[in-house]
């Protein structure tokens, strides 16, 4: 790990040269340099005529610095008579280094240093420069101690997270003093990257906790995520573009106040510095890819027990979303830019993914003095509230057979995407507009819950704690669409076929999918679309010609069923449908139904297996929070 030490700016021309030379030093080299200087500083009191050792001293320091990753300027470039200013510089350096190493420059109640993980490869690669130009001066101004960890390879952020966790555990296990004397302090990490860098960090510490260190817990992690990735879904869900900026008056004490453009990229850091509110709990979904069953359901195999879940903090998806990402990777060499995503979307839009999904509620939990059971609910845009599932499904009974544990949705699917944390996947693509990490007011929550009298407690105006215990699932099932189903009657009349052609249905569905997903760019208006009440047979061709096609257009909060099925639950499973030897008409859709996208990384469900997804919320053993 590189250990960055920052000192106050000094005015002598030699200082800038030496500061550049000392920019990156390991802890051991810093200590050696401190020891070396304390031995040699007394020589400075010798008369100037005897200072022939001056060049020798500079050469020795240069030798030490030359072994560092970033060699400094050659010592010959130093101006004449600079040795005396160098002494004062080293005195300042030693003092500042000692303070930084001991973590004594923290403000407020924070005793542990901030950890800064910067990913030079994320997004457009602007993170490191932004860190040096803006973040570091702000931290220095507010006297925040910090350590900087540049990532050097994929998954490196997870390794950094584990090293931070291991260091804390070693100190506590050995009874040694934790920096600042606080054992229960959170690990505060500034992520200068994006969703992928944050995912690597969370995956690193979460998997460590799930494995050999489960009993130890993994502590409280507070993330300050800055938008230097590609999509920055979490950041722009917390701070939607176009929303007015929150109070940033704390920055007015800086010598040079950041521009509005810079301020808009450091809002979580501003929240951390202000500490006028608490960080928000960040639920993590855990996905286990299980192989085909080889024994009864109630006897988990040893293999299943040893499978490590995949943690995600932004999105867990299958179907179209996962297929686009897989196809885009295959197109990367031919189309290295964003054009490959458009091409991949066009190729995948009409595919039907054969699978079945099961959505589950949670066991009862205590909320104040009441026991509450979180069941599976569906959003009804016609009444603007969460209600019991009402579109086509099969109920799943409880173990005792007296209640309902969840529902089963039969495919084929075209879109199946889940998130517990974000409303948008891009700044303008609002795919799950009802998902929010921020607490809802009583009045807003009671309206969404279909409780118009607002009897959830309080006066209906105060803030409500957001426990973030739901997974939101956005579903599109093409065979619910009367426009797609009309192919059946057309094919039956013209071709004497009993079974509609999937290719023809796919062409019609691609047109609908384009319409629906396009509405997501209008502040999530796609969840308000409803099908027409009747299925008018189209007189034009399948390609979309003919005046009667407008009869198939979706309405907005009309009387028909919603086009988008929006559910919330606490766990779910996704099981691709196996292909029979006699029916291979949709082999591509069945095969690609095994694709799973976890925060942008593509995984594949074992053939005949399934994916099980649960939710991990912060607890006394640890968890992840975000400043916003």
507 belongs to a structural domain: yes
With the CA atoms of 440, 249, 281 and 374 taken in that order, what torsion angle do they form, in degrees rounded to the nearest 10?
0
How many domains would you assign to the chain?
Answer: 2
239 belongs to a structural domain: yes
Output phi, psi for 299, to 5 deg.
-125, 90
The domain spanning residue 138 has which CATH number? 3.40.50.10330
Express each pLDDT in 578-588 by its tens digit: 764 434 445 66
* DSSP H stretches of helix in 307-433: 319-330, 339-348
Same domain, 356 and 243: no
The pLDDT value given to residue 399: 67
Same domain, 337 and 471: yes
40 CA to centre of own chain: 51
Output phi, psi for 258, to 5 deg.
-60, 150
The answer on pLDDT for 477 being more than 70 is yes
The answer on pLDDT for 56 being more than 60 is no
The answer on pLDDT for 605 being more than 90 is yes
Express each pLDDT in 355-385 by its tens digit: 999 999 986 454 454 556 788 999 999 999 9
Residue found under tokens 């390609």: 543
The pLDDT value given to residue 336: 77
Greater confidence, 389 or 23?
389
pLDDT-derived band at 591 (thresholds 50, 70, 90) equals: confident
Residue 438 has which token pair?
Answer: 């921020």
Among left, alpha and beta (phi > 0; psi -120 to 50; other), residue 110 is beta
Q: CA 33 to CA 39: how far, in whole Å?
A: 10
Average pLDDT over residues 71-78: 31
Same domain, 115 and 230: yes
Q: CA 625 to CA 186: how far, in whole Å?
A: 10
Residue 593 has which token pair?
Answer: 């139904």
The answer on pLDDT for 441 being more than 50 is yes
Domain ranges, residue 395: 289-294+306-438+466-487+501-538+551-618
Same domain, 123 and 191: yes
> Taking all residues of the chain, what is their mean pLDDT, rounded to a whole number?
75
pTM of the model: 0.76
- The answer to whether 354 and 577 are in contact (CB under 8 A) is yes
The answer on pLDDT for 453 being more than 60 is no
9 belongs to a structural domain: no
Q: CA 537 to CA 543: how far, in whole Å?
A: 14
Express each pLDDT in 290-345 by its tens digit: 998 754 444 444 555 568 899 999 999 999 999 999 999 888 888 877 788 889 99
78 belongs to a structural domain: no
- The answer to whether 418 and 572 are in contact (CB under 8 A) is yes
Same domain, 228 and 137: yes
Give the CA distances from residue 508 to residues 242, 376, 518, 558, in Å, rounded to whole numbers and listed in that order.
Answer: 35, 31, 16, 21
Same domain, 525 and 610: yes
Same domain, 421 and 561: yes
The domain spanning residue 512 has which CATH number? 2.60.200.40
Average pLDDT over residues 428-451: 73
Express each pLDDT in 404-434 by its tens digit: 789 999 999 999 999 999 999 999 999 999 9
451 belongs to a structural domain: no
The pLDDT value given to residue 326: 92
Contacts of 480 (CB under 8 A, 6+ apart): 391, 392, 531, 561
271 belongs to a structural domain: yes
Using alpha carbons, select from 485, 481, 562 the residue that is nearest to residue 519: 562
As a whole number of Å, the CA-based R_g of the chain is 29
The HSE-up count of residue 574 (CA atoms within 13 Å, CB side) is 30
Residue 606 is given by DSSP the state: P
With the CA atoms of 549, 555, 559 and 560 taken in that order, what torsion angle do they form, in degrees rounded to the nearest 10?
60
Express each pLDDT in 177-206 by its tens digit: 544 445 568 999 999 999 999 999 999 998
The pLDDT value given to residue 127: 96
235 belongs to a structural domain: yes
Burial of 397 (0-12, 13-18, 19+ CB in 10 A): exposed
Same domain, 269 and 324: no
Same domain, 261 and 345: no
605 belongs to a structural domain: yes
Using alpha carbons, select from 104, 280, 274, 120 the residue that is nearest to residue 197: 120
Following DSSP, what letter does each residue of 74-100 receive, concatenated?
-GGGSPTT-HHHHHHHHHHHHHHHHHH
Using alpha carbons, select from 390, 394, 564 the residue that is nearest to residue 473: 564
Same domain, 140 and 238: yes
Same domain, 391 and 534: yes
Among left, alpha and beta (phi > 0; psi -120 to 50; other), residue 468 is left
Same domain, 323 and 273: no
- The answer to whether 149 and 118 are in contact (CB under 8 A) is yes
């Amino acid at each position: 790990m590189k250990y960055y030490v920052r000192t106050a700016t000094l005015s002598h021309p030699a200082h800038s040269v030496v500061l550049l030379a000392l920019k990156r030093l390991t802890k051991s080299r810093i200590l050696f340099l401190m020891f070396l200087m304390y031995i040699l500083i007394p020589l400075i009191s010798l008369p100037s005529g005897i200072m022939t050792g001056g060049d020798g001293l500079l050469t020795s320091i240069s030798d030490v610095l030359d072994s560092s990753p970033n060699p400094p300027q050659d010592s010959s470039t130093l101006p004449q008579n600079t040795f005396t200013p160098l002494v004062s510089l080293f005195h300042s350096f030693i003092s500042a280094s000692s303070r930084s190493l001991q973590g004594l420059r923290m403000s407020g109640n924070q005793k542990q240093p901030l950890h800064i993980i910067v990913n030079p490869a994320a997004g457009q690669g602007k993170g490191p420069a932004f860190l040096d130009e803006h973040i570091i001066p702000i931290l220095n101004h507010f006297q925040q101690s910090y350590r900087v960890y540049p990532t050097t390879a994929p998954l490196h952020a997870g390794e950094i997270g584990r090293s931070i966790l291991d260091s804390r555990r070693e100190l506590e296990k050995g009874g040694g003093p934790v920096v600042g004397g606080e054992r229960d302090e959170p690990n505060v990490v500034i992520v200068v990257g994006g969703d992928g860098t944050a995912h690597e960090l969370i995956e690193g510490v979460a998997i460590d906790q799930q494995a050999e260190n489960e009993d130890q817990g993994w502590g409280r992690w507070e993330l300050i995520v800055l938008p230097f990735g590609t999509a920055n879904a979490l950041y722009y869900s917390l701070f939607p573009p176009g929303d007015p900026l929150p109070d940033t008056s704390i920055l007015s004490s800086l010598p040079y106040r950041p521009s509005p453009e810079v301020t808009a990229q450091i809002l979580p850091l501003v929240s951390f510095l202000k500490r006028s509110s608490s960080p928000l709990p960040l639920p993590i979904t855990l996905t286990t890819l299980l192989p085909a069953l080889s024994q009864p359901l109630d006897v988990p195999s040893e293999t299943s027990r040893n499978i490590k879940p995949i943690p995600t903090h932004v999105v867990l998806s299958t179907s179209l979303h996962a297929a686009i990402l897989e196809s885009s990777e295959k197109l990367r060499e031919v189309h290295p830019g964003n054009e490959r995503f458009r091409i991949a979307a066009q190729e995948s839009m009409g595919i039907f993914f054969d699978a079945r999904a099961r959505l589950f509620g949670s066991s009862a939990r205590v909320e104040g003095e009441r026991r509450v059971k979180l069941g599976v609910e569906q959003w009804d845009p016609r009444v603007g509230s969460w209600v019991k599932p009402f579109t086509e499904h099969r109920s799943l009974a409880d173990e005792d057979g007296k209640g309902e544990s969840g529902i089963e949705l039969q495919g084929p699917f075209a879109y199946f995407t889940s998130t517990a944390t974000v409303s948008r996947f891009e700044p303008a693509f609002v795919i799950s507009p009802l998902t929010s990490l921020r607490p809802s007011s009583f009045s807003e929550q009671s309206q969404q819950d279909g409780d118009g009298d607002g009897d959830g407690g309080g006066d209906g105006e105060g803030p409500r704690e957001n426990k973030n215990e739901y997974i939101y699932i956005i579903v599109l099932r093409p065979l619910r669409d009367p426009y797609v189903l009309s192919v059946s009657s057309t094919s039956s009349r013209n071709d004497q076929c009993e079974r509609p052609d999937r290719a023809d249905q796919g062409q019609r569905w691609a047109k609908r999918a384009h319409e629906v997903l396009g509405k997501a760019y209008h502040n999530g208006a796609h969840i308000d679309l409803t099908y027409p009440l009747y299925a008018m047979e189209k007189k034009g061709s399948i390609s979309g010609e003919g005046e009667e096609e407008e009869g198939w257009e979706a309405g907005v909060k009309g009387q028909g069923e919603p086009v988008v099925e929006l559910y919330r639950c606490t766990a779910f499973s996704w099981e691709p449908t196996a292909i029979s030897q006699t029916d291979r008409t949709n082999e591509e859709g069945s095969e690609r139904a095994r694709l799973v996208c976890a925060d942008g990384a593509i995984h594949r469900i074992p053939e005949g297996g399934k994916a099980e997804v649960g939710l991990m919320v912060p607890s006394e053993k640890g968890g992840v929070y975000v400043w916003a």
